[in-house]
Every structure is written in structure tokens, then in C-alpha cells.
Amino acid sequence: MSETISGRLTAAGHELDVRIYFEDTDFSGVVYHARYLHFLERGRSDFLRLKGFDHRALMEGAFGSPMAFAVRHMEIDFLRPARIDDIVTVETRSRLVGGARILLDQTIRRADETLVTAAVKVAVISPEGKPMRMPQGVMSGLAPPDAEAGG
Amino acid sequence: MSETISGRLTAAGHELDVRIYFEDTDFSGVVYHARYLHFLERGRSDFLRLKGFDHRALMEGAFGSPMAFAVRHMEIDFLRPARIDDIVTVETRSRLVGGARILLDQTIRRADETLVTAAVKVAVISPEGKPMRMPQGVMSGLAPPDAEAGG
Amino acid sequence: MSETISGRLTAAGHELDVRIYFEDTDFSGVVYHARYLHFLERGRSDFLRLKGFDHRALMEGAFGSPMAFAVRHMEIDFLRPARIDDIVTVETRSRLVGGARILLDQTIRRADETLVTAAVKVAVISPEGKPMRMPQGVMSGLAPPDAEAGG
Amino acid sequence: MSETISGRLTAAGHELDVRIYFEDTDFSGVVYHARYLHFLERGRSDFLRLKGFDHRALMEGAFGSPMAFAVRHMEIDFLRPARIDDIVTVETRSRLVGGARILLDQTIRRADETLVTAAVKVAVISPEGKPMRMPQGVMSGLAPPDAEAGG
């Protein structure tokens, strides 16, 4: 069960299925736009989790200096709306894993329809919120075989 | 997959596993109290779904007069906090299925620890928000074998 | 401005005006039930604030041992829905201020209509989440002239 | 009071003060990134409101064909975090008011510090979600004196 609830690693990255509930919709009848950022964050968190890094362990320093990730920049297109009862799939791919930041491409789709696309820049910060470099073990665990080198 | 994402029917009612994400926590380090009501609503929605009734179909009149459910009363105990990365289980049992309302008992637990208990009264309303009686097909589909009769 | 944004102290307690935005509504066209708990929490926070106690200062130990408040029990009636663009008023009165807990009565109304009523029990906890007694300065600052003694 | 709660029109556009509550923060101790999109949406809604257009009236066709606004594209920089108890100011300026869309520049600042900047594209849609052109009365009401012409 815990595999399914955390999505699945793929050749390209990670996929997570998300159900649309009442809480996600607004008075216009479709999903409130900011909710898609929650779904994207769930995808990133479960991608990390299946790579062996959960947020609490990162924050507690289980892999080196205590650290967290913080979103620094996002460019997002809201193409089509999701609706209540839908199941949508969040796809997450890392484009660049650097020492101090990660660039990711994410999409949300319903079957073959792309609903949302996002380019996301995530920075590494200390528990006090200061920029820092990722512990080496985290960085090598997250780097995809075909990612650009960078930092 | 869709069975797992919607939880499972049990002898007593329904169970749904929910992951705790960043979005669910607050500055105190644990889950924000109102988020548990979201988890409870997800449990009720998926219980309905596995019984054959999703919200959109109910609202569109697929089972008789168009209808929706609205929470009218809730008594809730917040016993222990859930934390980021936890998986918690939402248990839902219907205590009474009446023509115009349903009484449910719900709990949220993490393994053997009970975190939240709630007694919930849900009313049947029309799309315009007026009280109404449930279509017979919905009522008989939801009544558990051992529920009290009522209305 | 900061007075208005934080509401106002009254003979009975505190009042806060809250605007209903898109984010507060759901696909049924009215406010999502769990959102009212957010409005109630804003009312309690601003009541504390105007009494001289903000959350960060409490947590940092500005008034004695570091502490926070956590909701332990809530009984809530959802009587009528609020709608987008509405302004609703959250009323907060403390019924009992004890050493380890506070009992409050809260309502949400739109002009003369009562939309929601809630009886709330809030406990005092340490930053680690353990039950504790309120520093004396906080307790005497919060006790209303006519509150029951207790603890 | 209703003027203050809806912010204020300025030479450049609109400003709204927003309080940071528990609900806005997450386990990292600062505001959850998606919450800033809520604050931006509140700013846009209240800008519209002070220009004479609230969402319910737009949706009910009070100014011509029924319409709503939907966010289509957003580029957002999260520069510095807001914290609990902070008051932040959301600034909204329309850069281009076209027949079918509006481009806006928004910032969130705390006193003199810029926390978030966003470029937002909002489209005009019918109640069924189809693209449409704004009724003339809405368009002329929203166009700033110095906006680019466009559509």
C-alpha cells in the first residue's frame, strides 16, 4: 500500500495519482488554481521519499547537515481545469540537480489531457532558512543519470 | 489503482489511508487542526464513491432528484497530533441513515494510536441548498445492515 | 489599520470581520465547511493579539515558559452557509480561563444571521507538545472579569 | 470598515493588507508557498471589488454576459518568507487590459522588503468555462489610464 500511496518511480522520474475532493474545488465549479501547487508539492515530496529522503529525516540531519527544500521560482501554465471526483496524475522530472538547487519539470494530466505544466526551482536551505549546499549523499541520490551537471 | 486511492470497504464501513504533506502542517510542527476535517471529508467521499455514489453524479441527478450532502454538526476530539510524512487511516462508519440525514462516526488513527474522533451529522440538500429527502436508491444503497432505522 | 485588521475588543470579548474569497468556497457554491474553523482560529488569534499575546512571542517565551495553544475539542453547528464576497463577523468569548486550558464560545454571523456556532476547548502546550500550565502573566491577561474560576 | 477590509485603490493600482495566521504556515516555520497565491488572488478580487465588480455580480451577468476570471499563467518568485503574525501588503497593478485577458504585476511585501513578485495572466471565461470577451462595461471600468491597448 505505501508504494501506491507514494506514487511510483519511472524511467523519467516519478508519477503520483491524486484524487480531486470537495476541498480542492471552488465556487466556479472546478479546482482552485493554487491547489495545483499543492499537488505538485505532493509529487516532489513523494519523489524524494521513494528516493529515500523524507522531509523529517532531511530536517533532522539523517543524511548530513540538516536541510529542507524551499520553492524559489515557478512558472506555471493552467491549461485545462480538473473537476471533482477526477483522478489526476502528477509527473515530476528533475532537469538539473545542483549543489544548492534543483530544477524540475512537472505536469498534471488527466488521462491523456495535460491540465497544468510547471517549471520549478527549488533551493536548499538550513533549518534557519539560510541557503546552503546539499549533503553529498542527498545530491548523488537525487541526480538522474541524464541530468545536466550544475550547481 | 483506483481501488487503493479510494480506500476500502470494510465490514464496519470504510477505511482510507492519507499521507501527511507539508500543506497539512503548521508552524507548531504538527498538522493544523482544521486539516483533519479535510481528511474526514475525503473518507466520507470515498465511502460514498465505493458504494456507487460520487458527488458529481449525485449533483447531476443520476440517482433521482439532484442532491448533495452538507455537514450540519460535528463534535470532534483532537487527541494526538499527526506529523509530516505520517500515513494516517480515516475510518468511517454510518450510525444512522435517515431520509434527510446521515449520522457517522469517524476516527483518524496512526497504526494503533487514535489521533482524532468525530461524530458527524450530514444533511441532504438540493443544489440550491434546501433540505430535501434522499432519493430511495441512494438511501438503500447507503444503509448498513445493522444501522438504526430513522429519518 | 492594524487595529482594524485585527478586529476589536468588545465588552463580551472580540469581533473580527472576515471577507469570503474564492479560496473559501467549494464546488457546491458556498463556503467549504472546514474553512469556518480557519475563521474561528483567526478570531482567537486576534483576540489574543489585542490582549497583548501574539503566537510568536508566546512560543519564544516572552511571557514566561514558552507555550502555544492547541485545539483539543470542538462542537460545531453549521447552520447557514456563507457565500463568496460576503463579509462575516467572528465573535469570540472566553467562558473559562484555567491554568491549563481555555473554553471559548464562538459564533460566525452575517449581519443578523448566525451562520456557525462553536464551543471550543483549547489546551496549553509546550513547544514539544506536552501539556503545561500557562504562565501567570498570560492567564491573568486573558481572564475576563466575569469568567468562572477554574483550571 | 468595508473599505479597509477590501484594501485601497492607489495611483498605480491597489493595495491590500493581509495578516499571516497559523493556517498560512507550515512545519518549516514560515508561510507555505502556495498560500502566497491565495493572497495574490485576494488582492485581485478586492481590486475588482473597489472598481465596482464583485465575483458574484460578474457571474450573475450584472454587467453584460455572465463571466468569471481564471488564472492562465503565472511566473512567480519567492524571494523571502513571511512569518506568523506578520502583516504583508499585496500590491496589484494591471499592465494590460484586453478584451479576453488581463496581465497583472503583483508583489507581496512586508514593510520595505519584497517577499514575492508575480506576473499573472488572467483570462475571461463564461460560467461554462469557455473563453469569451469581457463585456464593454467591465473592460472600460478596469482599464487603467496608462495601460497598453490590447486584446
CB B21 within 8 A of CB B83: no
pLDDT digits (tens, 9 = 90+) for C122-143: 999 999 999 999 999 999 888 8
**Closest-CA residue to D87 (of D113, D64, D65):** D113
pLDDT, greater one: C105 or A137:
C105
Residues of A with active-site annotation: 26
Helix (H, G, I), strand (E, B) or coil at A109: strand
Return d(Cα A69, Cα A122) in angstroms, integer.
6
What span, in angstroms and rounded, lies between the C-alpha atoms of B99 and B134? 5
Residue D56 and residue C84: Cβ atoms within 8 Å? yes
A83 neighbourhood in chain C, CB within 8 Å: 27
Rounded to 5°, angle at Cα B72 from B71 and B74: 85
- How would you class A118 by CB atoms within 10 Å of its CB: exposed for 0-12, middle for 13-18, buried for 19 or more? buried
Burial of A79 (0-12, 13-18, 19+ CB in 10 A): middle
Query: What is d(CA D135, CA D64) in angstroms, rounded to the nearest whole number?
Result: 5
**pLDDT of the residue at C4:** 78
Measured from the Cβ of residue A141, the count of other Cβ atoms closer than 10 Å reads 15
- Contact D22/B23, CB-based, under 8 Å? no
Q: To the nearest whole angstrom, how far is the Cα of D84 from the nearest Cα of chain B? A: 8
Give C21's contacts (C-beta < 8 A, 6+ positions apart): C84, D38, D41, D42, D45
Q: Do residues B46 and B20 make contact, with C-beta atoms less than 8 angstroms apart? A: no
pLDDT at B1 (0 to 100): 44
pLDDT (average), residues A128-137: 93
Q: Given B27, B83, B84, which is nearest D29 (Cβ)?
A: B27
> Across the A/B interface, how many CB contacts are shorter than 8 Å?
56
Please name every residue paired with C89 in a beta bridge, in sequence order, or none if there are none.
Answer: C17, C109
Average pLDDT, chain A: 92
Question: H or E stretch including A70?
Answer: strand A68-78
Task: Quote the CA–CA distance of C36 and C24 in Å, as a whole number.
Answer: 9
D21 inside 8 A of chain A by CB: no
Contact between chains at A56 and B5 (C-beta distance less than 8 A): no
Which of C41, C72, C76 has the CB atom closest to B78's CB atom?
A: C72
Which residue from C minimizes the CA distance to D23? C38
Q: Is residue C26 over pLDDT 60?
A: yes
Q: Where are the beta strands (DSSP E) in B56-130?
A: 68-78, 87-97, 101-110, 113-125
Name every chain D residue with its beta carbon within 8 A of the beta carbon of C1.
4, 17
Nearest by CB to D23, from B32, B83, B84: name it. Answer: B32
The pLDDT-based confidence of C71 (bands split at 50, 70, 90) is very high
pTM of the complete model: 0.95
D73 with A68: Cβ contact below 8 A: no
The answer to whether B118 and B106 are in contact (CB under 8 A) is yes
D30 neighbourhood in chain B, CB within 8 Å: 27
Task: Inspect the interface and report whether the beta carbons of D23 and B26 lie closer than 8 Å.
Answer: yes
B28 with D34: Cβ contact below 8 A: no
pLDDT reported for residue D151: 47
Coil vs helix vs strand at C124: strand
- Whether B82 and B32 have beta carbons less than 8 Å apart is answered as no
| Mean predicted lDDT score pLDDT of chain C | 92
Candidate from D28, D59, D129 with C-beta closest to A30: D129
- 3-state SS string for chain D: CHHHHCCEECCCCEEEEEECCHHHECCCCCECCCHHHHHHHHHHHHHHHHCCCCHHHHHCCCCCCCCEEEEEEEEEEECCCCCCCCEEEEEEEEEEECCCEEEEEEEEEECCEEEEEEEEEEEEECCCCCECCCCHHHHHHHCCCCCECCC
**Residue spans of chain D under pLDDT 50:** 1-2, 149, 151
Closest partner residue to C22 among D1, D45, D49, by Cβ? D45
**Whole-number Å distance between alpha carbons of B55 and A56:** 35
pLDDT band at C91 (very low <50, low <70, confident <90, very high): very high
* Of A41, A113, C56, residue with least CA distance to D83: C56
**How far apart (Å, rounded) are the C-alpha atoms in residues C52 and C78?**
31
Closest C-alpha to C41, from D141, D116, B34: B34
Is B71:B82 a contact under the CB 8 Å cutoff?
Answer: no
Give the whole-angstrom CA distance, residue D32 versus residue B27. Answer: 10
B22 to C6, C59, C70: CA distances (angstroms): 27, 21, 19
Q: Are the CB atoms for C34 and C41 separated by under 8 Å?
A: no
Tracing cell 451562520 back to the chain, one arrives at: C115
Helices (H), chain C: 2-5, 35-50, 55-59, 136-142
Collect all residues of chain A within an 8 Å Cβ-Cβ radius of residue D76.
Answer: 73-76
- Do B47 and B122 meet the contact criterion of CB atoms below 8 Å apart? no
How many A-D residue pairs are in contact by the CB < 8 A criterion? 63
Interval C98-116: pLDDT, tens: 999 999 999 999 999 999 9
Residue C43 has pLDDT above 70, yes or no: yes
User: D33 at the A interface (CB within 8 A)?
Assistant: yes
Question: Which residues of chain C make contact with D22, given a CB cutoff of 8 A?
Answer: 41, 45, 55
- Catalytic-residue membership of D46: no
Burial of residue A140 (number of CB atoms within 10 Å: 0-12, 13-18, 19+): exposed
Return the active site residues of B. Answer: 26
| C68-78, strands of its sheet edge to edge | B8-9, B14-19, B87-97, B101-110, B113-125, B68-78, C68-78, C113-125, C101-110, C87-97, C14-19, C8-9
Chains that touch A (3 or more CB pairs under 8 A): B, C, D
Residues of chain C contacting A23 with CB distance shorter than 8 Å? 26, 32, 34
CA-nearest residue of chain C to B39?
Answer: C34
Q: Is the pLDDT of residue C1 over 50?
A: no
For chain A, positions 51-80, list CB contacts with chain C under 8 A.
none
Q: Which helix (H) or strand (E) holds B17?
A: strand B14-19
Best to test chain D binding among C60, C71, C85, C88 (most D CBs inside 10 Å): C85
Instruction: Give the residue from A134, A148, A6, A19 showing the smallest Cα distance to A70.
Output: A134
- Residue pair A126/A80 in contact (Cβ under 8 Å)? The answer is no
CB contact under 8 A, C33 and B41: yes
Half-sphere exposure of A5 (CA within 13 A, CB side): 15
% pLDDT > 70, chain C: 93
Over 90: is that where the pLDDT of C149 sits? no
| Residue C24 in this model has a pLDDT that exceeds 70 | yes
Cell triple for D83: 512569518
Task: Mark yes or no for CB contact C27/A32 under 8 Å.
Answer: no
Note the pLDDT tens digit of each residue in A80-117: 999 999 999 999 999 999 999 999 999 999 999 999 99
Tell me, what's the pLDDT at A145?
A: 63
By Cβ distance, the residue of A21, A56, A83 closest to B85 is: A56
3.40.50.2300, 3.40.50.970, 3.10.129.10, 3.40.50.720: CATH of D2-142: 3.10.129.10
pLDDT of residue A3: 53
Strand-pair category, B101-110 with B113-125: antiparallel
Instruction: Specify whether the CB–CB gap between C16 and C90 falls below 8 A.
Output: yes
Task: Give the helix/strand (H/E) hosting A137.
Answer: helix A136-142
Beta-carbon separation of B21 and A1 below 8 A: no
- Residue C16 in contact with residue C42, Cβ under 8 Å? yes
SS3 of B116, please? strand
Which pLDDT does position B37 carry in this prediction? 98
Say whether D85 and C55 touch across the interface (CB within 8 A): yes
Provide, as residue numbers in chain C, all residues whose Cβ is less than 8 Å from the Cβ of B78: 70-74
Nearest CA in chain A to C30: A27
Grouping H, G, I as helix, E, B as strand and the rest as coil, residue A115 is strand
User: Chain C interface, mutation test: which of D45, D60, D71, most C Cβ atoms within 10 Å?
Assistant: D45
| Mean pLDDT of the region C23-31 | 94
**Element housing C93 (H / E):** strand C87-97
Q: Are A25 and B55 within 8 A, CB to CB?
A: no
Cβ distance D84 to B28 less than 8 Å, yes or no, reads no
Looking from the CA of A123 toward its CB, the CA atoms found within 13 Å total 18
Spans of chain B below 70 pLDDT: 1-3, 145-151
Please name which of A3, A50, A43 lies closest in space to residue B17, comparing C-alpha atoms.
Answer: A3
Contact status, residue A87 vs residue B2, Cβ threshold 8 Å: yes
pLDDT of residue A31 exceeding 50, the answer is yes
